[in-house]
Amino acid sequence: MSDMTNSGFIGHLIELRNRLIKALLSILVIFVSLVYFANDIYAFVAAPLVESLPANSTMIATDVTAPFFAPFKLTLFVSLFLAVPMILHQIWGFLAPGLYQHEKRMLMPILLSSILLFYGGIAFCYFVVMPIILGFFTAVGPDMMTLSPDISSYLGFILKLFFAFGVAFEIPVAIMLLCWSGVTTTESLAQKRPYIVVGVFVVAMFLTPPDVLSQTLLAVPMALLFELGLLLAKLYSRTPTPQDNNNE
């Protein structure tokens, strides 16, 4: 029995290793495909800032290596973001054999929704939040100041925002999983709504740059997504039927 248990455990470790390798290879393949367009990718991401800069102002590089490494680093993160479906697919492939049939039917839509919400959060950040934030910050400075943002500093700024909004938009999925697994209920979450809203603003404070505007632009969608998650959890959660139990 012990040998069979050890054999099964080693088999799971081997499968986990293989799936991790596949996930890393997917990132590498995407990166190799995009690295030639690294400068174009950076120009696209920097467009909201460039459009907000005053006349005759440009971005600068304070480090000799920054013009090479900043687009290179951004392309690597873009590759990681684009590989999210493949990464989640490998996670699903590892977990699915241990799930019941009704659990698979429950989790597959959640998996697809998590991918769409992650990309939706990044798109919301790029097309809605960044023009507002950058337009505000480039307009409030003293007239005697010449604004010339550093390309590396801007990269760190936008990557933090992209990650924050991508993760924050997963709130409905997180709520559905918590309710589905029995950790909590929609009624309990609804009763704790005032505390959760306060917590949302605290979380937004840590995920975004230290300014009230970006914190608010993240916290408000998070609060709305919390309400959406409650609604979906009420509609989607159900007790397994006898047919489900027979399929197990």
What token pair was written down for 135?
């337009």
Q: What is the pLDDT of residue 60?
A: 86
Q: Residue 103: name the closest of 119, 92, 117, 116 by CA.
A: 92
Confidence of residue 52 (pLDDT cuts 50, 70, 90): confident
Flag whether pLDDT at 29 surpasses 90. yes
Prediction pTM value: 0.80
Residue 23 vs residue 178, higher pLDDT: 23
Which ranges of the chain would DSSP assign to H, the alpha helix? 2-34, 38-52, 66-82, 84-95, 101-124, 130-139, 151-168, 171-181, 186-191, 193-207, 212-236, 242-247
Predicted confidence at residue 240, as pLDDT, reads 47
The mean pLDDT of the chain is 82
Burial label for 204, CB within 10 Å (0-12, 13-18, 19+), is buried
Residue 41 phi, psi dihedral angles, 5° rounding: -65, -45
Q: What is the share, in percent, of the chain residues with pLDDT greater than 90? A: 20
Q: What is the pLDDT of residue 237?
A: 60
Q: What is the pLDDT of residues 203-224, one digit of tens each?
A: 888 877 777 887 888 888 889 9
Q: What percent of the chain has pLDDT over 70?
A: 88
* pLDDT tens-place string over residues 81-127: 899 888 888 887 877 777 777 777 777 778 888 889 999 999 999 99
Burial bucket for residue 130 (CB in 10 Å: 0-12, 13-18, 19+): buried
Considering 3-12, 66-75, 237-246, the range whose residues carry the highest mean pLDDT is 66-75
